[in-house]
Amino acid sequence: MKFNSAELLSIAQKPPIYFEKEGILKTCGKSRTKRKHQELTERWCRLKGNLLFLMKNRSSTSDPAEVIVLERCDIVECRDNRSTALTITFQSGEPGIYLEAVSKSDCGDWIAALREANSEGLQRRIAYLQRLTMEIKADTSPDGTHQILPLPEMPSPLISIGKIPFEPKLEFSLACKELVATARDRKPNSFVQITIINPAQQSLTRYTHTETVEGTRDPVFLTGATFPPGYPIYEETRVKLTVYDVKEKSQETRSFLGSATFAVGDLLKSEEQTLTITLSPLDGSSKVGTIVVSNLKMGENENEETDHTPGEVAREKSASFCGNLLHRTINDPGDFSLLDSVFKNIIWKVYRLPTTNGRWLCAREQMAESTLSFLIPKQMITLFIQEDMRRLQDLEELGELSAHWDTLRQNVTIHYQHMISSYQEMLTELNKFSGSSFKPSCSRGEKKLEFVPVNLHLQRMHIQSNSAQTDGIYDVVTIGAPAAHIRGFRNGGLRRQLYRFEGEKRNSAYQYIYYSPEDTTKAKEVITNIYKLQPLMLTNTDLLLTAARQHSSDNLKDSLKTLSEITEQFVHAFEDQLLRSALLALHKARPSYINKRHSNLIHNPDDTEKQCENSERRSSKDSIPHHAEYDEEDWDRVWVNVGKSLNCIIAMVDRLLEQSDTGQKCEIEPSPVDQIAASTSDDWYEGLYPLVVTLKDCVEEVIDRAKKAMVFVLLQDCGSNIPQALALHQRRDVVFSQALAGLVCGFVIKLHTCLHDQGFLLQLHTVGLLVQFEGLLSTYSEEIGMLEDMSVAIIDLQKVAFKVIEAQLEESASANLYPVVTGIRDFYTVEVQLPGKLFEVLPQEIKDGKLLRVHPVFFNIGINEQQTLAERFGDISLQEIINQENFKLLSKYYKSFQEKLSADCLPQFQTQIDIKELFQSLSQNIQARKRKNVEVLKVAASICRRLNGIRFTSCKSAKDRTSMSVTLEQCVILQEEHSLHPDYFVRALDCMRSSYAKGTMNGPDDPEADSDNRPTSSHFYPVALLLVSSHLLVVWLILSLALLLAKYQ
């Protein structure tokens, strides 16, 4: 470019009033593009017309060092909301210029000024003012005056697209014809950059781009552009399409071919909703080709002849299909705000794919963050705190204990208080947290986010074709492996640590009373029943008395029936030998018993030898003491009195109802109950009141004794090693909280998707919901600890049940319908709210509050380099055991389904493979000794989809391995169920795995340097090199061991 340096110097030194904008900007020096850890230089910058002057330093009086001509360039702002950076990119393909402002507001001012500085910005403003002038002339006020408003304050006259909410406003596909590369002897490797020009704001935003199609002059791009409901696009919005030729893909070098611009309204108003636009090159003279823009729309005639082959797609009419997406799987989305509450920041992708029959199908990907990532952990921490505080109160109410047991109680109390304090601090920090609605993998090491799952997202693929029979929705919840990363894996994960702790408890049985894990679980179950049934009994006794006071026969019968059922459950809950033995053990822990025993030993020293002999005969498994002086019948009397009290109430109610019907007295000699009924026939309330009080007293006495006995049993659980016991307690809380957040997310989307599927709803309340977790963790190094944590967390999900309730909202209310978790550690209920209109479509069993059980299964196959090391030099038995155990659980669920339901409840698929054959294939693959047998995961996923289950995919961070698995599964589904053309399988897979598509879909840029597919430590060397020589292998093992020891020390 020719220029007059003296004139430019004169312009640069003009007074400030001469410039449109000036101020300090940070630049990268001569390199222009920013590199990692590069220091920036502050310079005073002055903008005049289309010239940006960069002075030598930050002084406004310094000489200019560089001048930038702002023509044929784009001003791109950083997507990070906290960033103050912008980049000037040139259409010629020259390196961009990185600039950084001093503040966010200053950055916005610079972007607005720079975008208006070139001739294109001036032309846009002139065209806009001309159009505005024409509109004003055509539309004058009644008094003949023109309604002229200044541009910044003018309300937008643009017409919005997308009349139906929750549908994409616009979707289009792209294809090019007769492209000419810069080098005439080669065919271009082209892709299209899509940029949005907003006429109201006069802004330019880089939106998306297609995949790169190699070696053709007539590329048809599978990746299209989709604009979600909330995106500000209007009929007058202009879209700029820039076509580039990628010369060397590995180095990402590209050259500009041409560009074209069209208005959205022109596309929608065209006869076939297709535009063919000539591309404009840089010189404006040569011809480089055309670009075809086709609006994706519903409504292709199903009987239309389709003689075209996939190779002729560039010359045929575009006919792809839009439709219901994440928010449109029900009939009335306007009244349904559940998904709006649970899912945020939805990212949309659309693909136009050919089928084997010559037709086209539209595949949409949606990825959404879930607010449950933080909501559920907050609720769980609150429940943990409440339960532990109640545990402390139960320990205090245990009464007097001997010195040995009282010391144990005090130590446990101190550790529980520390745990409650740490939970309260963590809850406070979570309540303060503001930012994204998911936890990125780089935050695994943050203590305050320990209970939050890593990268919890919903991945949905919605398929629509010209035949409704082949449409489908496929959801996968992606989540980082539920694991306690903060607590480390030096001693393994939960599975191994729990096994070791159980062994320590057995070895310390001489000091404490040993209870098996089954006994401990039973004790927790008894306490759960106490907290669950006691309020119900009190409520129903009050209802019974209310019905008696009102002399309502129907209400009296209903209340008595409910009370009888609850009392029967209450009585059976305490019918266990563990309760009797625990009462005996608690009796022997009282100071009165110790003192009495001590006095007996003083008066009868000969009895010492006999007691020692008896203790030696007692085995370690039967370490619960038996005492002949303890009256075991006393507990039986108290327990049986509950049933007797209920029988008296039943007899009284029958007598009162009989007298009410007949109005006559019996002639036979009355029983005591009959005497009371006769004397109070005119007042039912006074007749029932003393009997109800007796029942309540009996219930209170049973609960008091049973709760103390079970609390004493749980006290022994920490006896051998209190710090370790409570550390395992906390670790289990952490991984369970992460797993539960993912489960609730999956249940909500599954219920929403299948709300009108009566077969699914019948299956849901009859046999429960299948939940299948797919793990991609290796059985080597730290990941084996993650696998152990994850397996225990998924087992604990069996303690969860769901309950659908009607949301109590006013007509105009738009409250967030968040799920609510209640219960204690051994049984949780998740209440999912539905608005009244949607609640009415549910079966009566679900509306009546029936608990909906879940059946989690977990299959894991390691696929990375670490798994190769584990298979060659390590141990993969844990993976094999987990897969075998969960195959039994899956088979048990299917057997229960066959016994209770028919196959008509299940969804129909195009692939004609019987479920029994899939089970047989899964069993064979699990038993096969094949390395990295991913067929296990593929078959398990197919079974889950066939059985209406929820799919989860996990790896260490739910990034690389997870995205590879999900995209492969999606393409397999497209081929098997929707007839994707085999020649386009790899291309479709590459589109879904492209750096832009999957990088954006998997969240913002992650500063974490290490990849999921790489070993986490730097001392892993290529296995092929190590196999060359046994000496190298020995050296590698020694170095690895030394580095591991240094790391853990």
Q: Which residues are catalytic?
A: 955
What would the two tokens of residue 844 be?
């009566």
d(CA 793, CA 874): 24
Pairing of strands 73-77, 85-90: antiparallel
CB atoms within 10 A of CB 654: 14
CB atoms within 10 A of CB 890: 24
User: 163, 46, 174: which is closest to 110 by C-alpha?
Assistant: 46
User: Using alpha carbons only, what angle is made at residue 893 by residues 890 and 897, rounded to the nearest 5 degrees?
Assistant: 140
| Residues 542/689, Cβ–Cβ less than 8 Å | no
Helix (H) or strand (E) holding 159: none
The H helix count followed by the E strand count for the chain is 30, 25
d(CA 997, CA 62): 45
**Residues in Cβ contact with 1027 at an 8 Å cutoff, skipping those fewer than 6 apart:** 1033
d(CA 981, CA 306): 14
CB atoms within 10 A of CB 434: 5
**Residues in Cβ contact with 3 at an 8 Å cutoff, skipping those fewer than 6 apart:** none
d(CA 391, CA 523): 13
What are the strands, taking DSSP E only, across 470-541? 472-478
Q: Which residue has the tokens 């019907």?
A: 661
What would the two tokens of residue 725 be?
């016991």
d(CA 523, CA 536): 20
What are the residues facing 91 on neighbouring strands?
none
Distance of CA 497 to the CA centre of its chain: 27
d(CA 107, CA 110): 5
Would you give the DSSP letter of residue 168? -
Q: Reduced to 3 DSSP states, what percent helix, strand and coil does the chain have, rounded to the nearest 5?
A: 50, 20, 35
**Secondary structure string (H, E, C) spanning 948-1016:** CCEEEEECCCCCHHHHHHHHHHHHHHHHHHHCECHHHHHHHHHHHCCHHHHHHHCCCCCCCCCCCCCCC
| Residues 742/479, Cβ–Cβ less than 8 Å | yes
What would the two tokens of residue 420 be?
């409650």
| Residues 692/545, Cβ–Cβ less than 8 Å | yes
d(CA 419, CA 540): 37
What would the two tokens of residue 231 be?
């995106």
d(CA 352, CA 988): 9
What would the two tokens of residue 248 be?
């060397």
What would the two tokens of residue 724 be?
């370790």
d(CA 487, CA 492): 10
| Residues 959/441, Cβ–Cβ less than 8 Å | yes
**Residues in Cβ contact with 682 at an 8 Å cutoff, skipping those fewer than 6 apart:** none
What would the two tokens of residue 19 be?
């410039």
In the β-sheet with 950-954, what is the strand arrangement from edge to edge?
A: 343-354, 360-370, 457-465, 472-478, 950-954, 769-775, 852-860, 800-806, 827-834, 820-824
In the β-sheet with 64-69, what is the strand arrangement from edge to edge?
A: 64-69, 51-55, 41-48, 21-27, 97-100, 85-90, 73-77
| Residues 511/719, Cβ–Cβ less than 8 Å | yes
The C-alpha R_g of the chain, in whole angstroms, comes to 36
d(CA 450, CA 445): 8
